[in-house]
């Protein structure tokens, strides 16, 4: 079994192989982000602004809660696969990570459903249960494990099959304003198709062994995850959490506009996700054996990402009117949505830099507490700005998000710079640790 796993997890290899993996991951990410974007387009056009605002509230809330379900385990899992002592049998990591996510999901789902059934309208009961089903499927997602082994073709197959199935069902069942419940169940169906297809492919590829529980490893996962999840939740509170907040206190039409802006920003960032995800896998492998080489690779990754993200941001800002009009199927785009799209897009380069500096690099250097501190302070800034302004005004909401993104980039960068300088100093000849 270990020999099969060794063959499934190739070392860092040549440029041509990397290009192929990047292309496969790019197609996978295209499918991954095509679904939420098309979901927004179909629902906004067929359900109407008000009903789409209800769907936007639940999709944003579910996405935010899934950050808690993930608990930082996916990033930790990628790191653990390459840790000396576990890299010869990485399937043990996937079983323990999945069990940990399911345990967190159980608590989160029960608490969420209980609160929503009491506080929301009885007409939304079916939507609430659909959201719960989505979270369970999310906990079962094993895509992070396939990426950690650089098995990008299975990642591609899973993403394309599940998303196309979800889009086909969406077009069939969401045709009018009354189809709000069907829209959310389509969302849940896509997540389950993704989870089931992923586990079937992992089984057929012989990259998972028999289930086994390692209590010390499980405990260590929760210990590391507890440090990361606060940062992840704080970061997600700026996007999905912010849209969910608007759904609770603002006009549904504004909630829908914010969700559209978030979808377009996510679609723009998706063009860089193949490079980000493969880069994280490569950084994990290199830093585990050679910190200096890992730092050099990180610098190259940063320069490329900044070039790409700036180009994408400018393109979205320039075409914001046309994009929003296309989504809403109106001759003239609602100005609230246009303003939010432009502000969200302006934050793409700083958001990408913040992810690279914070979640990826600080985690790889085992600086989880610094990552959490930055994210918590960013959340305080974001919600503080909303508290002292009118949160229901699109301009105020967009500027609060942009300021928080800038803070994450600079604060994470300063923490990382200190860590890198310490690493470089310790690596000099004659200098001790």
> Which pLDDT tens digits describe the chain residue by residue (433 residues)?
334 333 344 444 444 566 676 676 667 767 766 777 788 888 877 887 778 888 888 888 888 788 888 887 877 777 777 665 555 667 778 888 888 889 989 999 999 999 999 988 888 899 999 999 999 999 998 888 887 777 777 878 888 888 888 888 988 988 888 888 888 899 899 999 989 988 888 888 777 777 777 788 778 778 777 667 666 666 666 666 666 666 666 666 677 777 778 878 887 887 787 777 777 777 777 776 777 787 888 888 889 899 999 999 999 999 888 888 877 776 776 777 888 888 889 989 999 998 888 877 787 777 877 888 888 888 888 888 877 776 556 577 778 888 989 999 999 889 888 888 877 776 555 443 3
Q: Is 39 exposed, middle or buried (0-12, 13-18, 19+ CB in 10 A)?
A: buried
CB of 41 closer than 8 Å to CB of 325: no
Task: Tell me, yes or no, whether 6 lies in a domain.
Answer: no
Task: Tell me, yes or no, whether 5 lies in a domain.
Answer: no
CB of 371 closer than 8 Å to CB of 354: no
Burial 169-205 (b: 16+ CB within 10 A, else e): bbeeebeeeebbbbbbbbbbbbbbbbbebbbebbeee
Residue 49 belongs to domain spanning: 12-421
pTM of the predicted model over 0.75: no
Task: Tell me, yes or no, whether 429 lies in a domain.
Answer: no
CB of 394 closer than 8 Å to CB of 254: yes
Q: Is 392 exposed, middle or buried (0-12, 13-18, 19+ CB in 10 A)?
A: middle
Task: Tell me, yes or no, whether 428 lies in a domain.
Answer: no
Task: Please give the structure tokens belonging to residue 335.
Answer: 């100005």
Task: Tell me, yes or no, whether 433 lies in a domain.
Answer: no
CA 239 centroid distance within chain: 11
Task: Tell me, yes or no, whether 104 lies in a domain.
Answer: yes
Task: Please give the structure tokens belonging to residue 107.
Answer: 């608590």
Task: Please give the structure tokens belonging to residue 268.
Answer: 């723009």
Task: Tell me, yes or no, whether 7 lies in a domain.
Answer: no
Task: Tell me, yes or no, whether 240 lies in a domain.
Answer: yes
How many structural domains comprise the chain? Answer: 1
Closest residue by Cα to residue 102 from 197, 234, 218: 218
Alpha helix (H) residue ranges in 205-290: 215-237, 240-249, 252-270, 273-287
Task: Output the CA torsion sign for 95, 96, 100, 103.
Answer: positive
């Amino acid at each position: 079994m270990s020999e099969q796993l060794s063959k499934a997890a190739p070392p860092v290899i040549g440029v041509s192989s990397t290009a192929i993996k990047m292309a496969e991951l790019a197609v996978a990410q295209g499918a991954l982000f095509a679904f939420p974007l098309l979901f927004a387009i179909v629902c906004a056009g067929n359900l109407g602004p008000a009903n789409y605002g209800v769907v936007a509230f639940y999709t944003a809330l579910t996405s935010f809660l899934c950050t808690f379900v993930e608990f930082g385990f996916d990033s930790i899992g990628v790191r653990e696969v390459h840790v000396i002592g576990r890299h010869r049998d990485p399937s043990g990591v996937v079983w323990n990570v999945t069990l940990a996510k399911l345990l967190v999901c159980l608590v989160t789902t029960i608490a969420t459903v209980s609160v929503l059934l009491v506080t929301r309208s009885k007409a939304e009961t079916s939507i609430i249960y659909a959201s719960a089903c989505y979270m369970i499927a999310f906990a079962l997602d094993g895509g992070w494990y396939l990426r950690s082994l650089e098995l990008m073709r299975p990642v591609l197959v899973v993403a394309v099959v599940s998303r196309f199935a979800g889009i086909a069902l969406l077009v069939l069942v969401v045709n009018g304003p009354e189809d709000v419940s069907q829209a959310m169940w389509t969302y849940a169906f896509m997540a389950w198709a993704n989870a089931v297809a992923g586990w079937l492919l992992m089984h057929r590829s012989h990259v998972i062994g028999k289930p086994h529980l390692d209590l010390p490893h499980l405990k260590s996962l929760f210990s590391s995850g507890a440090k990361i999840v606060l940062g992840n939740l704080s970061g997600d509170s700026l996007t999905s959490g912010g849209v969910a907040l608007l759904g609770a206190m603002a006009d549904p039409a504004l909630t829908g506009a914010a969700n559209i802006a978030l979808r377009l920003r996510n679609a723009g960032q998706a063009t860089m996700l193949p490079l980000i995800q493969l880069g994280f896998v490569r950084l994990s492998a290199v830093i585990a054996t050679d910190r200096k080489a890992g730092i050099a690779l990180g610098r190259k990754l940063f320069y490329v990402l900044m070039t790409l993200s700036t180009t994408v941001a400018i393109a979205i800002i320039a075409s914001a009117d046309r994009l929003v009009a296309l989504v809403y199927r109106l001759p003239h785009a609602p100005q609230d949505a246009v303003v939010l799209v432009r502000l969200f897009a302006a934050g793409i380069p700083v958001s990408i830099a913040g992810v690279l500096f914070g979640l990826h690099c600080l985690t790889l250097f085992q600086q989880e507490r610094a990552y959490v501190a930055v994210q918590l302070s960013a959340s305080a800034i974001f919600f503080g700005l909303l508290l002292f302004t009118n949160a229901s005004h699109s301009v105020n909401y967009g500027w609060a998000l942009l300021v928080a993104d800038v803070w994450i980039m600079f604060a994470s960068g300063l923490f990382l710079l200190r860590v890198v300088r310490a690493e470089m100093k310790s690596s000099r000849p004659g200098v001790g640790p």
